[in-house]
Amino acid sequence: MKEFAGKIAVITGGGTGMGRELARQLVAEGCNVAMCDVSEAAMAETKRLCEVEKLPQGLRVTTHVADVSIEDHLKRFRDELAEQQKTDKIHLLFNNAGIGGGGSLFTNTREQWERTFNICWGGVYLGVRTFLPMLVKADEAHIINTASVNGFWASIGMGQAHTAYSSAKFAVKGFSEALINDLRLHAPHVKCSVVMPGHIGTSIVSNSRKVQSGDGSERLNAEEVELTRKRMVAAGVPDADKKSDEEIQAAFAERARTFLEDAPTTAAQAARIILDGVKAERWRILVGDDAKLLDERVRAAPEQAYDRAFYESFTQEVGWRLG
């Protein structure tokens, strides 16, 4: 697919981050966009940004509230977009929605763990299941599944467990790679890519907290404060056990800020890399120099990938401060 003008794209998680930037750049190239998110307000802002420059006549940007872990929500999204976009086919499916959290089988609840897994993995699987018939009806189509470097390296640092997100992203990577040949056999005009970003400047830290808690607040509750304090102690943060609750709140807010603002790759840059990869029909799209370097290191020394020396050497080279 060499150009997006006149095509119809579906984007999950279109309210913020890479989803928002994918929508903006696709619209700028003349592509119709239907996005879903759990936040109607966030999608409204994405749509406003898409429309800052007057849309070409007939171009459509539609928003749909949906939780991608719930199949009925995705089916409703599909039916709404078919009506509002006046189509029975789509050309691009960006399974982009994701959250963090639920990292430990010991310190997190089963509900937290499965919430992360069901969005990050289930949302991709259900997204493909739901929209595959509409993709097949197009003359050419492309599925783009967002995994992560955590799809080939299941860590975020020595002081923090990261099992739910990593498990989901490994599943996304394996599913996408297997889907390549399934499509070749049964729908060769539909392509598939797996996207593996490194550290991208998004609001995933604060957004994940909102989705996991269900209260929409920027502040941690009492249980989350205590869990954050334990993580800081495990990570070796000086006097973490003596910090007040407000100091823990401030530390969490600062982590969310730095993850967004100090990342080596912006969400806009990531979206451009992804879209260029789709045009080039690359099935494996690494996003960011940190992702490329980590991929090389894990392949070169897989048995050492979870040793402290591996982590410290890598993070010093790329400047990561994630865990």
Contact at 8 Å (CB) between 141 and 90? Answer: yes
Is the domain of 88 the same as that of 180?
yes
Torsion of CA 155, 161, 163, 168, to 10 degrees: -60
Is the domain of 21 the same as that of 73?
yes
Give 132-176 pLDDT, tens digit per residue.
Answer: 999 999 999 999 999 999 999 999 888 889 999 999 999 999 999
pTM for the full predicted model: 0.90
Is the domain of 136 the same as that of 178?
yes
Give 82-123 pLDDT, tens digit per residue.
Answer: 999 999 999 999 999 999 999 999 989 999 999 999 999 999
The per-residue pLDDT for 138 is 98
Is the domain of 120 the same as that of 160?
yes
Among 247, 262, 277, the domain-final residue is: 262
Is the domain of 134 the same as that of 227?
no
Contact at 8 Å (CB) between 93 and 31? Answer: no
- Is 2 part of any domain? no
Report how far residue 204's alpha carbon sits from residue 53's, in angstroms, rounded to the nearest whole number: 27
How many C-beta neighbours within 10 Å does residue 5 have?
Answer: 11
- Is 155 part of any domain? yes
- Is 248 part of any domain? yes
Confidence class for position 260, pLDDT limits 50, 70, 90: low
Is the domain of 198 the same as that of 211?
no
Is the domain of 74 the same as that of 137?
yes
Give yes or no for residue 205 having a pLDDT over 70. no
Give yes or no for residue 309 having a pLDDT over 70. yes
Contact at 8 Å (CB) between 200 and 288? Answer: yes
- Is 1 part of any domain? no
Three-state secondary structure readout of 96-119: CCCCCCCCCCCCCCHHHHHHHHHH
The phi and psi torsions of 244 (rounded to 5 degrees) equal -75, 165
Report how far residue 183's alpha carbon sits from residue 179's, in angstroms, rounded to the nearest whole number: 6
- Is 53 part of any domain? yes
Number of domains in the chain: 2
- Is 3 part of any domain? no
Q: Which domain holds residue 173?
A: 8-202+265-318
The per-residue pLDDT for 134 is 98
Among 262, 277, 307, the domain-final residue is: 262
Among 237, 262, 287, the domain-final residue is: 262
Is the domain of 241 the same as that of 281?
no
What is the average pLDDT score of the chain? 91
Is the domain of 76 the same as that of 218?
no
- Is 323 part of any domain? no
Q: What is the CATH number of the domain that holds 193?
A: 3.40.50.720
The per-residue pLDDT for 193 is 98
User: E strands within the chain?
Assistant: 8-12, 32-37, 61-65, 92-95, 141-146, 190-197, 200-201, 265-266, 284-287
| Residue 87 burial by Cβ neighbours in a 10 Å radius (0-12, 13-18, 19+) | middle
Do the bridges between strand 32-37 and strand 200-201 make them parallel or antiparallel, or are there none, so unpaired? unpaired
Is the domain of 276 the same as that of 139?
yes
Give 208-252 pLDDT, tens digit per residue.
Answer: 666 776 666 778 888 778 877 877 777 678 888 888 888 887 877
Is the domain of 52 the same as that of 191?
yes
Is the domain of 94 the same as that of 73?
yes
Q: Helix or strand or coil: residue 92?
A: strand
Give yes or no for residue 323 having a pLDDT over 50. no
Q: What is the CA radius of gyration of the chain?
A: 20
- Is 299 part of any domain? yes
Question: Which residues fall within 8 angstroms of residue 166, CB to CB, at 6 or more apart?
Answer: 150, 151, 154, 155
